[in-house]
Amino acid sequence: MPNPYFSNLGDFLYVNRTRDGRSEGDYSLVKNLFKRAKLREDVYQDLSFFTKFDVLGDDRPDNVADLVYGDPTLDWVVLLSNNIVNVQSEWPLSQADFNRYITEKYDSEEILYSGIHHYEAIEQKYKGNVVVSGGMKVDEAYQYVTPEGLTLTKAQSRVGITNYTYEIDINEKKREINLIKPDLIPQFNQMFKEKMRFKPSTKFINEKRRIA
């Protein structure tokens, strides 16, 4: 089934050229793959538009679209809802791809599982109130000093995050995505079509076509 995303893109009349770069005077009709739409960051705060979704296992964008919208060809809506351009680097890796990625990135299992990527502060409280948030990145020498002037040991102040834990966390965070609510898909699709239309210019033919 053809993906409707491409039917929403405008067309270029691209001039055909010879090997030496001269124009042949003929044109080829090509899709304008350079034109993209992007959602403003503040839009994500409007819960009336979006719903939160966790990508499970090895699900791809088309699997998620089929599950949520009943139409796998709406995978572009899933991606656009999160401003994802590069699926390989911005979508959660499957287990097989993740294992391959970390194996190729790190030279040995020792570096992967025992090597420290960075350190994070351990949560500290004073009189029931949090004064240091856990998870804050700190350097290796970091030691927390209490309001009473007591200096805690490094082991009491920060924890080392291994390369493996770091890579796992990065991949898992990609599983938390936003999705346009199903009942808003018709309006979203119309808004996207309008965004993709060409505006009048010297090379303008119509809203769906222009000369490159």
Mind listing the pLDDT tens digit for each residue in 154-166?
999 999 999 999 9
CB 127 within 8 A of CB 110: no
pTM to 2 decimal places: 0.69
Whether residue 31 has pLDDT greater than 80: no
Instruction: Tell me how far apart the alpha carbons of residues 206 and 212 are, in angstroms, rounded to a whole number.
Output: 13
Mind listing the pLDDT tens digit for each residue in 81-91?
898 989 999 99
Question: Which residue shows structure tokens 């890579």?
Answer: 167
CB 174 within 8 A of CB 189: no
Question: 3-state DSSP call for residue 115?
Answer: coil
For residue 178, list its beta bridge partners.
52
Whether residue 62 has pLDDT greater than 80: yes
Kindly report which listed range (40-49, 105-114, 197-206) carries the lowest average pLDDT score: 197-206
CB 112 within 8 A of CB 102: yes
Average pLDDT over residues 14-27: 58
